[in-house]
Amino acid sequence: MGVTYTSGNASAYISIATYTVTGSAVASYTFSNIPTSYTDLVLIGSPNNGPGTYPFVQVGNGTVDTTSSYSSTQIYGSGTTVGSTRLPSTTYGWGGTANAYSNIKIYFMNYANTNTFKTWLCRGGSASDYVSAEVTLWRSASAINTIKIYPDTGTYPVGTTFNLYGIKAAG
Amino acid sequence: MGVKQLSSASAITGSKSNKFWDQSTYVGDFVQIASAVVDSSGTPQIAFTNIPQNFTHLQLRTSSRDTNTSTGTPSLGIRFNGDTSASYNYHVFYGTGISSTATGSGATGYTYSYALNGTYDGNTASVYCANIVDFIDYSSSNKYKVTRTLTGIDYNTTSYSSYINFISTSWNNTAPISSMVIQSSTLHKQYSRFDLYGVR
């Protein structure tokens, strides 16, 4: 056999949940009970004059994993320099870059598979700091149904938005 | 902005009109085409054939690993429409966590499109390489075809390099892409998956 092919023609990019910070700033936001019926997840964030330098991401199944099970690699351009750096064995993964009026786009690939470690890719950027891309490994074969995002310092102000989408493969 | 269904009695017909308005969906739809999931036997090739021509772009999303027990980062070759000639080019810009580098060639022809990266089985167990590849205006019969890729893998080790890459490739052929074959160096390993979507 070797490989199983399936085909489809349904719309594949589905909104799962949306969150907007209202009233007062928040230290973090957690998407819980994420359905595992999709193939990939996409998290799009738009911090409003956001804090810190990095959005940090923790994931889990039921609860977020706060152990040193994450590692990230980044490439970035600051406007004057290009570089690459990494975080080995940390308690969070990178979710892009932040700071004032940044944007975040995170792709959680094959997030519901219970046989493989999980990898996510990020595109981030802020006019005041960096354009960047990141890859993070979460060394767990658990399906992801919980995602927490928080800034390295400070809080997310009113007006910040986080949108979670599911991408459903054919079959 | 979405464009809602207007009327099923429109005088506009044919595949070209479908690219803008297919009578039932919104502009901007992201639509399933086909998926391939590798089982315990593994497979040397993933083949998507008879790719519909009524989308504007394609996107391929993969999570894959190779059975080759070497370490390092293999490029997975793609061939379009069975073209084995040296008509593919690529450029890549990547970071390893230690350094950032640009490489590739727009002049030298290759016999594969290196739009995808993978990972060998000698690397950290259970880690699969992620790729997101856009095939822009794939059904045009007037232009060479260009892809762009965001790909990355992190092994949480310094024994071999993790990487995050931007890749651009060209297929120097004006034919619409109607099929693609993704070739492993040995076998695509169990739990690898390849998902193809159309963007209206």
Can you give the pLDDT at residue A49?
Answer: 66
B164–A83 CB contact, under 8 Å? no
| CATH code for the domain of A96 | 2.60.120
Contact B95 A75 (CB under 8 A): yes
**How many domains does one find in chain A?**
1
Among candidate residues A88, A77, A89, A166, the one with its CA nearest the CA of residue A126: A77
> pTM of this prediction?
0.91
**Which sign does the torsion angle of CA B30, B89, B131, B48 carry?**
positive
Terminal Cα distance for chain B, rounded: 13
- A137 and B CB contact within 8 Å: yes
Write the pLDDT tens digit of every residue in B161-197: 899 999 999 999 999 999 999 999 899 999 999 999 9
- Per-residue pLDDT of A146-163, as tens digits, reads 999 998 888 998 999 999
pLDDT digits (tens, 9 = 90+) for B44-87: 999 999 999 999 999 999 999 999 999 888 889 999 999 999 99
Cα separation of A138 and A106, whole Å?
14
Put simply, the answer to whether B31 touches A9 (Cβ < 8 Å) is yes
- The set of residues, in sequence order, having a beta carbon less than 8 Å from that of B107 and lying 6+ positions away, is B89
Chain centre distance of CA A3: 29
- Give how far A77 is from chain B: nearest CA, Å: 10
Mean pLDDT of B20-34: 63
Nearest CB partner across the interface for A4, out of B31, B37, B187: B37
- Chain B contacts in chain A segment 67-126 (CB below 8 A): 71-76, 82-86, 88-89, 107, 109-110, 113, 115-117, 119-121, 123
Q: For residue A140, what are the domain limits?
A: 4-169
Tokens 């700071």 appear where? Answer: A99
Q: Given this model, what pLDDT does residue B28 score?
A: 52
pLDDT for residue A83 is more than 60: yes
Size of interface A-B (CB pairs under 8 A): 179
Domains in chain B: boundaries:
32-199
Suggest the residue from B123, B156, B166 to mutate for an interface test with chain A (most A CBs closer than 10 A): B156
A25-73: pLDDT as tens digits: 999 999 999 999 999 999 999 887 666 778 899 999 999 999 999 999 9
CA distance B96 to A88: 12
Classify the C-alpha dihedral B54-B59-B60-B61 as positive or negative: negative
ipTM: 0.95
